[in-house]
Amino acid sequence: MKRLLLILSTCVLSTAVNAQTQSLGSTMDVFVFPAEGQDSSQQSKDEAACYEWAVGNTGTDPFQLAKQEEADNEQADAQQQAAQQAGAGSGARGALRGAAAGALIGEIANDDASEGAAWGAAAGAVRGRRQGREAQQQAQQQAAAQSEDRAQATEQQLANFKNAFSVCLEAKEYMVKH
C-alpha cells in the first residue's frame, strides 16, 4: 500500500512539475529551441516579450480567442437548435390557409364550403409541411455557414498571431516551428 501511494504521489508531482515548466510557446503549439544557448529563464522572458509584441501587432490574444471560440460554439449550437424549430407548425398553418381558400372556392363552385374546406386543408397541410422542411433546411445551412465563417476567421487570426510571435522569437535567435 505504501509503495502504491509513493508511486501515485511521484506521478502527481511529476505532472505538476511538467505543467509548470511548459513554455508559453508550447501552450500555443509553437515549438521554440534556443539556438544561441539561452537558458530557460531567458527563454521565458523572451517568449513573454514576444507574446506582448505579437498581441500588440496583430490585435489578437490567443487565450482570448479560445474563449471567443467557446462562445462561438455555443452560439452555433443555439442557431442549430433554432433552425430545427424553423418549420414547426407550418403544416397546421398551411392546413388553415388551405381550408379557408378551399371553403371559398367550394362555396363559389358548388355551394358546398365544407367539402372545399376539407380538400383545401389537406392540400394546404402538404404544402405547409414542404415549405416548413425547406425553411428548416435553409436555416440549418445558414447556421452552418455562419459557424464555418467564424471558425475560419478565428483560425486566420491565430495563424497571424503565431507568425508574429515566431518572427519576434527568430529575431532573438531562437529556432521556431508551428
Question: 3-class secondary structure for 123-170?
Answer: HHHHHHHHHHHHHHHHHHHHHHHHHHHHHHHHHHHHHHHHHHHHHHHH
Taking only the tens place, the pLDDT of each residue in 138-176 is: 877 887 888 888 889 889 999 999 999 999 999 999 999
Q: How confident is the model at residue 174, as a pLDDT?
A: 94
pLDDT in tens, 30-49: 999 999 989 999 999 999 99
Q: Which helix (H) or strand (E) holds 67?
A: helix 62-84
Q: What is the C-alpha to C-alpha distance for residues 117 and 123, in angstroms, rounded to an integer?
A: 10
Hey, is 175 helix, strand or coil?
A: strand
What's residue 88's pLDDT? 61
Query: What are 99-140's pLDDT values in tens digits?
Result: 566 565 655 666 667 766 666 666 666 776 777 778 778 877
Domain boundaries, the chain: 32-177
The Cα–Cα gap between 134 and 119 comes to 23
pLDDT at 17: 41
Give phi and psi for 28, each to the nearest 5.
Answer: -110, 15
Looking at this protein, which amino acid is placed at residue 145?
A
Backbone torsions φ then ψ of 35, nearest 5 degrees: -70, -25
Which residues are within 8 A (CB) of 36 and not within 5 positions of it... i.e. 6 or more apart?
Answer: 173
Cα gap 100→111, rounded to integer Å = 14
Beta strands in 25-141 (DSSP E): 31-34
Q: Which residue has the cell 471560440?
A: 69
Higher pLDDT, 3 or 46: 46
Question: pTM higher than 0.85 for the full model?
Answer: no
Summarize pLDDT for 53-97 with one digit per residue, the tens: 999 999 999 988 888 878 877 877 777 777 666 666 666 666 667
Cα–Cα distance measured from residue 103 to residue 41, given in angstroms and rounded to the nearest whole number: 85
